[in-house]
């Protein structure tokens, strides 16, 4: 086991320790370097006789000096003087080096063991990632990394130049972005020339903003602004973003944003109608509208003509410009999964139409038994999924809770292990399987996926 000890705490202020400290620095071979409070040295750089065993614990002797190092051959002072070829398997010992060398032997972070740590038993060559047997290996890795860095530097430079040129020539003020519709119109014409329709989905969502103002150009930004030319004397706390996402292609374009404090259902419905009208003018066919499960969004859907009530469902509304065309309403799968987790965990019990119980206690019981035994029955359920309130925005915690693996584990505890705590969990197992399948259908668009993810 490797443990790192604090260098400064390994010495006293005496003259003998001053000499020992000098010897440490010579052996470590780092050029123009002095240890500080954060400096650490790996325990594997000491010989076996540098430790004292005391009641099962190992301590470093007060006279111990690190002597176990294996420096790579490419760091030798004068490699050009060699007349014989070095084998790729050759190892260079520390005594063959004549120049103070830079090596990651000293860690600048880690555990301050105060001179006490477990005895090392692992070979340094196997455990130290910086141990290289051949300079050719380092050269190949170095050339590969240089190529990768240069590739991304060129890409970042190109992207920055493109964005800078784009923003220098268009208006980025709140409201509908004219440049986006111009680009979309050109794309639609290109598709028409190739005999293809441009089919898209419309999405809108609120993004939280830190209330602040910023002066740019000749205007102060940060106040409520819906792009009408009038700016309210209130700082915006949210940005309502409208985006169009291609269905039969792979692209998405933001077409509008509004700086707001809040927006009621009527105003949101007007934003959707205006977005549909503008997209219709440039030739884009919008077939769906996606939003999360906020109350105002549900009310907005009713204003548009849809109804998400489970007893009288009408998951579509007529297009603003073509009444014969239906725009289907889709609730954002990730947000709805988090809302379902909140409701299930808070209520503890959900009821079916015929009054049967779907109980959260089986999930808690599964976590309890897995924590107790230190094993997991093929699932990712852990305490973070049960104590989710401080991480309620993480979709993965909700998705892993409503998973087939959790359902299968509960079923195994009931039918396989015959545990009393899981008796009567069949309906809960069926519920978890159903939610998992629905989420796969709504969250995946990969035609090559497996199971429900391919639908």
| Residues 77-102: tens digit of each pLDDT | 444 444 444 444 444 333 333 333 33
Q: Please name the residues in contact with 75: beta carbons below 8 A apart, sequence gap of 6 or more.
A: 97, 99, 101, 102, 103
pLDDT for the residue numbered 94 = 37
pLDDT for the residue numbered 91 = 41
CA distance 406 to 365: 11
* pLDDT category of residue 455 using cuts at 50, 70 and 90: low
> Dihedral of CA 288/399/237/257: which sign?
negative
- Residue 246: in which H helix or E strand, if any? strand 238-246
Kindly state the percentage of the chain with pLDDT values over 90.
45
Three-class secondary structure of residue 306 per DSSP: coil
Summarize the confidence of residues 218-238 as an average pLDDT.
Answer: 82
Domain boundaries, the chain: 4-132, 170-331, 335-454
User: Is 204 in contact with 243 (CB distance < 8 Å)?
Assistant: yes
Residue 257 has pLDDT above 90, yes or no: yes
C-beta atoms surrounding 4 within 10 Å: 20
CA distance 111 to 319: 64
pLDDT for the residue numbered 288 = 95
pLDDT for the residue numbered 81 = 47
CA distance 378 to 45: 40
> Dihedral of CA 138/143/145/149: which sign?
positive
pLDDT for the residue numbered 269 = 95
Q: For the chain, what is the mean pLDDT? A: 80
Q: Please name the residues in contact with 257: beta carbons below 8 A apart, sequence gap of 6 or more.
A: 174, 175, 177, 239, 240, 241, 242
Three-class secondary structure of residue 193 per DSSP: helix
User: Is 5 in contact with 50 (CB distance < 8 Å)?
Assistant: no
Plot region of 91 (φ>0 → left; ψ -120 to 50 → alpha; else → beta): beta
pLDDT for the residue numbered 225 = 85
First to last CA, the chain: 49
> Dihedral of CA 177/179/180/182: which sign?
positive
CA distance 395 to 337: 8
Residue 350 has pLDDT above 90, yes or no: yes
Residue 125 has pLDDT above 80, yes or no: no
Tell me the pTM.
0.61
CA distance 65 to 62: 9
CA distance 44 to 401: 42
Summarize the confidence of residues 201-209 as an average pLDDT.
Answer: 93
CA distance 300 to 240: 14
Provide the 8-state DSSP code for 81: G
| DSSP string for 357-411 | EEETHHHHHHHHHHHHHT--SSS---HHHHS-GGGTT-HHHHHHHSSHHHHHHHH
User: Is 91 in contact with 72 (CB distance < 8 Å)?
Assistant: no
* pLDDT category of residue 4 using cuts at 50, 70 and 90: low
Residue 368 has pLDDT above 60, yes or no: yes
- Residue 254: in which H helix or E strand, if any? strand 252-260
């Amino acid at each position: 086991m490797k443990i790192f000890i604090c260098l400064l705490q390994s010495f006293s202020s005496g003259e003998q320790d001053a000499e020992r400290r000098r010897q440490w620095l010579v052996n470590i071979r780092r050029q123009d370097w002095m240890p500080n409070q954060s400096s650490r040295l790996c325990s594997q750089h000491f010989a076996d006789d540098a430790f004292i065993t005391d009641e099962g614990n190992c301590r470093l002797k007060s006279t111990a000096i690190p002597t176990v190092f294996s420096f790579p051959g490419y760091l030798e002072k004068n490699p050009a003087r060699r007349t014989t070829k070095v084998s790729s398997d050759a190892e260079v010992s520390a005594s063959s080096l004549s120049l103070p060398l830079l090596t990651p032997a000293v860690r600048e972070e880690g555990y301050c063991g105060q001179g006490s740590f477990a005895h090392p038993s692992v070979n340094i060559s196997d455990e130290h990632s910086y141990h290289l047997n051949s300079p050719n290996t380092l050269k190949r890795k170095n050339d590969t990394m240089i190529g990768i860095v240069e590739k991304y530097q060129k890409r970042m430079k190109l992207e920055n130049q493109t964005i800078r040129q784009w923003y220098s020539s268009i208006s980025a003020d709140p409201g509908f972005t004219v440049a986006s519709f111009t680009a979309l119109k050109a794309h639609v014409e290109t598709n028409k020339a190739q005999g293809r329709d441009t089919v898209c989905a419309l999405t809108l969502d609120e993004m939280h903003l830190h209330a602040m103002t910023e002066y740019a150009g000749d205007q102060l930004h940060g106040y409520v602004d819906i792009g009408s030319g009038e700016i309210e004397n209130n700082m915006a706390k949210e940005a309502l973003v409208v985006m169009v996402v291609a269905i039969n292609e792979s692209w998405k374009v933001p077409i509008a944003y509004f700086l707001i404090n809040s927006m009621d259902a009527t105003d949101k419905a007007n934003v959707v109608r205006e977005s549909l009208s503008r997209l219709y003018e440039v030739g884009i066919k919008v077939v769906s509208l996606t939003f999360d499960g906020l109350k105002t969004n549900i009310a907005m859907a009713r204003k548009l003509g849809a109804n998400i009530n489970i007893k009288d469902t009408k998951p579509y509304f007529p297009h603003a410009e073509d009444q014969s065309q239906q725009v289907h309403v889709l609730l954002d799968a990730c947000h709805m999964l988090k809302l379902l987790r909140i409701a299930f965990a808070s209520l503890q019990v959900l009821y079916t139409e015929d009054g049967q119980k779907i109980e959260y206690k089986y999930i808690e019981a599964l976590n309890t038994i897995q924590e107790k035994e230190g094993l997991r029955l093929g699932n990712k359920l852990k305490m973070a999924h049960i104590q989710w309130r401080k991480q309620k925005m993480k979709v993965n915690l909700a998705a892993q809770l409503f998973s087939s693996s959790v359902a299968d584990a509960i079923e195994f505890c009931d039918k396989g292990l015959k545990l009393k705590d899981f008796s009567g969990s069949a309906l809960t197992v069926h519920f978890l399987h159903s939610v998992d399948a629905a989420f796969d259908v709504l969250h995946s668009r990969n035609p090559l996926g497996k199971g429900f993810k391919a639908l």
